[in-house]
Amino acid sequence: MKIYQHHAWPSTVDEAIAIQEQLRNQVITSDRLQEPVQYVAGVDMGFEADGTISRAAVAVLSFPDLQITETSLAYRPTTFPYIPGFLSFREIPAVLDALEKIKTTPDLILCDGQGIAHPRRFGIASHLGLLVDIPTIGVAKSLLIGKHEELPETRGNWRSLIDQGEIIGAVLRSRTGVKPLYISSGHRISVPTAIEYVLRCTPKYRLPETTRIADKLASAR
């Protein structure tokens, strides 16, 4: 798979902020998908040797039946610390290595993290989507930023996630009676369309199948 855009990876927070500010205006939050979507992918990370080695996993699934088509793993030294709001600089280098190994280019990537629901509107899903020029969705398990109205307990309900008067995503109940997910546009997809695809990728569990499978690969020993 081809990586369309590259930049130097930072070693300091100030350098990382400068990259986020430089690239954030290139993010597209309207629908620019190639439809019908035939392949969806999930990416996730594990760490080895006390966090010094990054282990990136990619799982490509057929859509809409969600059967595994292809997987890959990549390893590289971890070069950026864990700091909330800067996850992409810690994880994406190894993720790009894993994506370059796959032969099936996905039509949509679901990321275990934020898209534009981020203080600088440039979370890991937006960053990755921009670099690979593929539609991406941020599917986070916890709230990073924003507020929302109370969410009903039944599957499929969602409420807008708002920060400083701006809609930055949605809080979505993917399964009845379980904790919600925090959905935001990564790149080349709108929030309503992102919600639709996340629900179609969560037939049984709280998390999308893409995330569950990639997580198993990333954490396997």
What CA dihedral angle connects 217, 13, 182 and 134, to 10 degrees? -60
Rounded Cα gap, residues 74 and 44, in angstroms: 11
Averaged pLDDT score across all residues of the chain: 95
For 76-110, the pLDDT digits (tens) are 999 999 999 999 999 999 999 999 999 999 999 99
Its pTM stands at 0.95
pLDDT of residue 221: 54
In sequence order, the β-bridge partners of residue 137 are 110, 185
Residues 210, 39 contacting (CB under 8 angstroms): no
Residues 103, 2 contacting (CB under 8 angstroms): no
Q: How many CA atoms lie within 13 A of 118 on its CB side?
A: 28
Residue 154: pLDDT over 60: yes
Residue 66: pLDDT over 60: yes
Mean pLDDT for the stretch of residues 44-48: 92
